[in-house]
């Protein structure tokens, strides 16, 4: 090959031998033309610099016009209703294969990738949908192969929903995605501060409010008796205080719920033997295997709920909202997951975070739909320490979300569970369901006969464990939650006629379920 001259670098038409796909993906010619137009105006030193930079590219372009071979053996498998895995045999090239592009439904203008692997995971697919795929390769000189002649067709299976793991109607407040018409109002949530004498912030970030979820309709019927301790000092496990029978509910004989430490909410839900009636109560305890369980509240406080219904009512006393809807469930938030596909539940210090109000009664201003009540005497302490005052939209029952315009990838989240929660908060949001009564932040998660989300978190993320953290810990997990809280807004037009704000849902609706 002859030596490359300065004229070759400044006027070389590098696109002359490249495919149309290649020219669109690697537009060399416009860059070279720009160099040509400005060459007369630059100094000799600058010309030498340009020559040094472009000579290897020009030489390589003239040296290698041979595209790599077409990938063979393309195969695809739907591993879930929303994910398809592809694989193929490697291409060969006279110099080196640089990577591959994946094409969906012959959309050659917008290939997926590039990837250097001979496999690809295509996530975010629609359940019960057919997709066709082809693959091409390219080399280090930007030569493209043709794509695979015969596409591979893969159909995702329909989404099947287990009502015990993913309960309530598709249009339930817990399952309805945020909509395109959502009106976002800044929540202005302050980060809790509980410093000690040395100024170290011991505020929970997060504390985990464990919802006791017992969905074992064939388990032995267990007596649940009244215990009047509630949130006062005393033993929640005493079965003679006064001990009158409130319920007989299915519960494995070995399942234990300690009385403490402290006075947790211990909102509980049980599935009756009919397989669809949910009984809510709180605070639940059972300290000895085989003994009766204890609680303070009966069906007059929390009416029965249908597993296949709207799922609104339940035993989070500060709002009257569900003890199962919105809870992070076992199997969620695990490595490789996208994030829970339902709204979450959050709890804040109502004195610092919620707005001042005058009446907690029905029709009053201390709560908003879907909450059915506020805390007792909420008018005396909601918003009393907020400085500046909390926005008027910040009430018990408010739906919080990360606005649609926020680029989650730019939030610099450092932990996988933090990134998963960000996805959920932008697509489904979280409801304020209780008052923490302290400078702390809580999220609700499952504890039941099959285990707890806190124990699952410790197994899945040992470097981040425990799930319960404090601001002072300064871990990727706790810091991510601080970042998420600061990003939250109120979906101010969330109401029965436009759950999530209305418009086009950000995600597909949950598959329908029926008894």
Buried b (16+ CB within 10 A) or exposed e, 375-385: beebbebbbee
Residue 130 near residue 153, CB atoms below 8 Å: yes
Please give the helix or strand (H or E) that residue 100 lies within, else none: strand 97-104
The set of residues, in sequence order, having a beta carbon less than 8 Å from that of 46 and lying 6+ positions away, is: none
**The pLDDT value given to residue 113:** 86
Q: What is the pTM of this model?
A: 0.76
Cβ-based burial of 354 (10 A; exposed 0-12, middle 13-18, buried ≥19): buried
| Residues 50, 51, 54, 57, Cα dihedral to 10° | -170
First and final C-alpha spacing in the chain: 76
The residue among 345, 313, 306 whose CA lies nearest residue 326 is 345
Residue 250 near residue 271, CB atoms below 8 Å: yes
How many helices (H) and strands (E) in the chain?
8, 23
Instruction: Count the neighbouring beta carbons within 10 Å of the beta carbon of residue 509.
Output: 13
**CA dist 72 to 84, 144, 151, 227, Å?**
18, 15, 11, 69
φ, ψ (nearest 5 deg) of residue 472: -60, -20
Residue 365 near residue 398, CB atoms below 8 Å: no
What's the topology of domain 72-155?
A: Immunoglobulin-like (2.60.40)
Sign of CA dihedral 495, 496, 501, 507: positive
Sketch the domain layout of the chain as residue ranges. 6-63, 72-155, 184-501
- The structure tokens listed for 117 are 């692997």
**The pLDDT value given to residue 126:** 87
Per-residue pLDDT 10s for the chain (515 aa) are 333 333 333 333 333 333 444 444 433 333 333 333 333 433 444 344 334 544 454 455 457 899 999 999 999 999 888 899 999 999 999 999 999 999 999 998 889 989 999 999 998 888 899 999 999 999 999 999 999 999 999 999 988 889 999 999 999 999 999 999 999 999 999 999 998 888 999 999 999 999 999 999 999 999 999 999 999 988 999 988 888 999 999 999 999 999 888 888 999 999 999 999 999 999 999 999 999 999 999 999 999 999 999 999 999 999 999 999 999 999 999 998 889 999 999 999 999 999 999 999 888 999 999 999 999 999 999 999 999 999 999 999 999 999 999 999 999 999 999 999 999 999 999 999 999 999 999 999 999 999 999 999 999 999 999 999 999 999 999 999 999 999 999 999 999 999 999 999 999 999 999 88
The set of residues, in sequence order, having a beta carbon less than 8 Å from that of 95 and lying 6+ positions away, is: 64, 66, 139, 140, 141
């Amino acid at each position: 090959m002859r030596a490359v001259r300065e004229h070759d670098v400044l006027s070389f038409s590098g696109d002359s031998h490249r495919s149309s796909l290649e020219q669109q993906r690697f537009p060399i010619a416009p860059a070279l033309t720009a160099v040509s137009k400005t060459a007369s105006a630059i100094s000799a030193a600058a010309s030498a610099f340009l020559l040094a930079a472009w000579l290897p590219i020009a030489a390589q372009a003239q040296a290698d016009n041979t595209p790599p071979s077409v990938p063979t053996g393309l195969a695809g498998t739907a591993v879930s209703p929303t994910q398809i895995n592809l694989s193929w045999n490697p291409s060969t090239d006279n110099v080196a294969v640089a990577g591959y592009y994946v094409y969906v439904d012959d959309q050659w203008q917008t290939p997926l990738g590039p990837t250097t692997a001979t496999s690809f995971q295509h996530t975010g697919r629609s359940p019960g949908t057919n997709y066709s795929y082809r693959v091409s390769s390219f080399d280090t000189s930007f030569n493209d192969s043709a794509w695979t002649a015969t596409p591979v067709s893969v159909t995702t299976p329909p989404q099947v929903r287990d009502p015990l793991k993913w309960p309530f109607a598709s249009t339930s407040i817990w399952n309805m995605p945020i909509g395109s018409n959502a009106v976002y109002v800044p929540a202005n949530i302050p980060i809790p501060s509980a410093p000690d004498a040395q100024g170290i912030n011991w505020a929970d970030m997060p504390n985990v409010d464990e919802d006791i979820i017992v969905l074992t309709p064939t388990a032995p019927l267990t007596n649940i008796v009244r215990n009047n301790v509630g949130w006062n000092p005393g033993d929640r496990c005493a079965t003679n205080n006064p001990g009158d029978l409130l319920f007989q509910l299915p519960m494995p004989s070995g399942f234990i719920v300690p009385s403490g430490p402290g006075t947790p909410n211990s909102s509980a839900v049980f599935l009756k033997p009919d397989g669809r009636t949910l009984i809510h109560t709180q605070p639940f305890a059972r300290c000895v295997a085989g003994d009766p369980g204890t609680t303070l509240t009966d069906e007059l406080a929390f009416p029965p709920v249908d597993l296949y219904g709207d799922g609104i009512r339940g035993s989070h006393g500060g709002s009257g909202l569900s003890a199962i809807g919105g809870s992070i469930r076992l199997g969620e938030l695990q490595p490789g997951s996208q994030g829970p596909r339902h709204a979450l539940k959050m709890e804040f210090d109502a004195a610092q975070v919620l707005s001042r109000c005058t009446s907690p009664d029905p029709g009053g201003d201390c709560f908003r739909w879907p909450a059915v009540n506020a805390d007792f005497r909420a008018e005396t302490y909601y918003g009393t320490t907020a400085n500046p005052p909390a926005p008027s939209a910040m009430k018990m029952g408010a739906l919080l979300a990360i606005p649609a315009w926020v680029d989650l990838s730019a939030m610099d989240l450092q932990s996988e569970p933090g990134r998963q929660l960000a996805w959920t908060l932008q697509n489904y949001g979280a409801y304020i369901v209780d008052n923490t009564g302290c400078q702390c932040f809580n999220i609700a998660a499952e504890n039941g006969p099959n285990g707890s989300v806190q124990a699952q978190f410790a197994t899945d993320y040992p470097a981040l464990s425990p799930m319960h953290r404090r601001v002072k810990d300064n871990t990727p997990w706790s810091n991510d939650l601080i970042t998420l809280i600061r990003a939250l807004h109120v979906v101010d037009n969330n109401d029965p006629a436009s759950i999530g704000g209305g418009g086009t849902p950000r995600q597909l609706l949950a598959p329908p379920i029926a008894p």
